[in-house]
Amino acid sequence: MVKHTATSVVTIDRFIIEQERMHPAATGQLSDILYDVALAAKLITNKVRRAGLVDILGALDSENVQGEIQQKLDVFANETIVKAMDHGGRLCAMASEEEPELIPIPEQFRCGNYVLAFDPLDGSSNIDVNVPVGTIFSVLRKITRGVRGELEDVLQPGRRQVAAGYIIYGSSTMLVYTTGHGVHGFTLDPSIGEFLLSHPDIRIPTRGRYLSVNDSYEQHWDENVKALMRRYRGLDGQQKAMSVRYVGSLVADFHRNLLGGGVFAYPSNTQSPNGKLRLLYECNPLAFVVQQAGGSATNGVQDIMDLAPTELHQRSPLYIGSKDDIETAREFLSRKVA
Ligand code: AHM
Ligand code: MG
């Protein structure tokens, strides 16, 4: 990696170019995908930042008064990403949490060698209460032979991702991504409309401070999950208690734990045996990011990135974060349930 000092101003575009130059065989297609993701992130930021103003401004805006229905932000984010990405000639198909089927590239556009899976606005129910939300994305190489992408191209294990990351729309907007050469974070400077390198080579501490889990499901957890949570909370006297922090917005919880260390867990429970989170565009991309930062991710039994997906919207239990804390999860969750 090209070393930048703390005072260098490095835009995301320059960083992507520098990374590409280090791989002489690179065609530039992946770089173009990342540029387009960054552009979509700026457009979505703009809209998210005005979320609370919609009703006030809407009342002053004649078009809105005449009954134009405000588009929901998650629908807007979905369309923004599709429109930013579909014509670049780099992708052969897309998959989104917002759309039941594979999203084809329109006939009039060329197809490329990659597929993109994304959650356009995760945690969007939090918008109304001004809590951070995020976009999560995963890029895979096409494996089928035809020109257009097929379902099989998206249904690949996370281990085959070539890039992944997320955008957090928080007190500032940040884009964090990996192409398998470390994890790098960029903060959007709204005054110049540029993402600037702010967190080069992020490393997650091997043990963490934070535990993020929704323990209102405790009554539905199996005994192993209950015992694991007691361990994390220091209740069995075997380790220092972790601090519980749960925003309920995956990107926000993950981002905090990536920087400060810790675990995010969404276990299976008797009501949802596969938890809630989606493998292709929530678990896999964050698993790639955390692995590149020195952490790991499991469903309790297998590494997240080794799971072989069979469905576009399949769910998986998720334990993700600091390496040693996830090792503890593996230990507890592999025990035979009495
Ligand atoms: P969504 O994709 O419908 O927004 O749901 C995903 C969100 C995550 O951001 C968050 O981690 C989780 O749901 C919270 O779920 P719960 O309220 O069950 O704890
Ligand atoms: Mg989601």
Residue 1's pLDDT is 60
Beta-strand ranges (E) seen in 55-159 are 91-96, 103-104, 114-122, 133-141
**pLDDT tens-digit series, residues 324-334:** 999 999 999 99
Q: How would residue 6 be classed by pLDDT, with cut points 50, 70 and 90?
A: low
Site residues for ligand 1, CB cut-off 6 Å: 97, 122-124, 214, 248-250, 276
**pLDDT tens-digit series, residues 145-178:** 999 999 999 999 999 999 999 999 999 999 999 9
Give the phi and the psi of residue 64 in degrees, each rounded to 5. -70, -40
Whether the pLDDT of residue 337 is over 90: the answer is no
Question: Residue type for 308, please?
Answer: A
Q: What ligand is nearest to the CA atom of residue 73?
A: 1
Residue 127's pLDDT is 80
| HSE toward the beta carbon, residue 290, CA cutoff 13 A | 38
Nearest CA to ligand 1 atom 4: 123
Give the phi and the psi of residue 240 in degrees, each rounded to 5. -65, 140
List, in order of start, the domains of the chain with CATH numbers: 12-199 (3.30.540.10), 210-333 (3.40.190.80)
Residue 62's pLDDT is 45
DSSP three-state, residue 14: helix
Q: How would residue 56 be classed by pLDDT, with cut points 50, 70 and 90?
A: low
DSSP three-state, residue 217: helix
Of 22-36, 203-217, 226-240, give the lowest mean pLDDT range.
22-36
Range ranked top by mean pLDDT from 51-60, 101-110, 117-126: 101-110
CB 259 within 8 A of CB 309: no
Q: How would residue 130 be classed by pLDDT, with cut points 50, 70 and 90?
A: confident
Whether the pLDDT of residue 248 is over 50: the answer is yes
Structure tokens at 266: 């969404």
Q: Which of 250, 283, 314, 315 to mutate to test the pocket of ligand 1 (most atoms within 8 A of CB)?
A: 250
Ligand 1 atom at minimum distance from 251 CA? 9
Report d(CA 255, CA 283) in Å as an integer.
14
DSSP string, 75-132: HHHHHHHHHHHTTSSSEEEEEETT-SS-EEPPTTS---SEEEEEEEEETGGGGGGT--
Q: How would residue 4 be classed by pLDDT, with cut points 50, 70 and 90?
A: low
